[in-house]
Amino acid sequence: MGKVTMNVKLLEMSRNAISLIYVACRQCYSEKFAGEVFLDSSVNIEKQEAFVKSIVASGHQSPLEHVKFTFAIEGVSRALTHQLVRHRIASFSQQSQRYVKEKDFDFIIPPVIERNPEAKNEFEKLMAAIQQSYTKLLAFMGQDNISGEAANQDARFALPQAAETKIVVTMNCRELLHFFQARCCSRAQWEIRQLANMMLDICKEKLPAVFSEAGAKCETLEYCPEGEKFCCGKFPAKA
């Protein structure tokens, strides 16, 4: 039981991503069959990348939906995943507190609490107390011959949002751009912003033609849409 660190690993991304986006977009305007265009070696990958960059810049994003990324994520809180699963155009497979007993759960400490020694001590005491109570609840149910997932599913009601969880996330490129716009913003909650930035770094490395300019909304708008009250100052607020 203790504090854990966020870890993000790319499990898989669509093969031939640039060619997939290129062909999908070309099909919209071409008499040719996409299956033939995909196999046409006369258009090299450099030309395809330049074309994909141009369609991303133009805002023509529907062809981006044909390419997806799948991430394995650990060392994040349930508070984070409650926000993450609000992104509807995505697939999620999360570690279950019903099937996985939290016999010695790890947790995430918010930085503002960790910076204050007294607050950190109180937080860690609370986590230890919850663990004790959770274990007792399982024992009490065991006395009534309730065990396994039947016990876990009710004992988990006592667990905190700080409890560490693991999740597999799949998003297509269009949804990832939207995710980064919303969650890389300085107004986003600190933990999901950290996750978004780690995912963005991976996407920029693997598919720069799509993600080289990705990030918070202000990065592409060159102004802050949040208004003066919430503007971080990186870009001017919208007049």
CA distance linking residue 229 with residue 175, whole number of Å: 28
Residues of the chain with pLDDT under 70: 1, 41-42, 239
- Report the side by side order of strands in the sheet with 7-13: 7-13, 68-77, 164-172, 90-94
* Catalytic-residue membership of 183: yes
Q: Is 109 helix (H, G, I), strand (E, B) or coil?
A: coil
What are the residue boundaries of the structural domains of the chain, listed by start?
Answer: 7-93+164-221, 98-158
So what's the pLDDT on residue 41?
Answer: 64
So what's the pLDDT on residue 239?
Answer: 67
CATH fold of 7-93+164-221 reads Gyrase A; domain 2 (3.30.1360)
So what's the pLDDT on residue 219?
Answer: 85
Identify the active-site residue in 26, 78, 174, 183.
183
The token duo for 95 is 């570690």
Q: In sequence order, which residues have a C-beta less than 8 Å from that of residue 4 and are 6 or more positions away?
A: 74, 75, 106, 107, 108, 164
So what's the pLDDT on residue 84?
Answer: 98
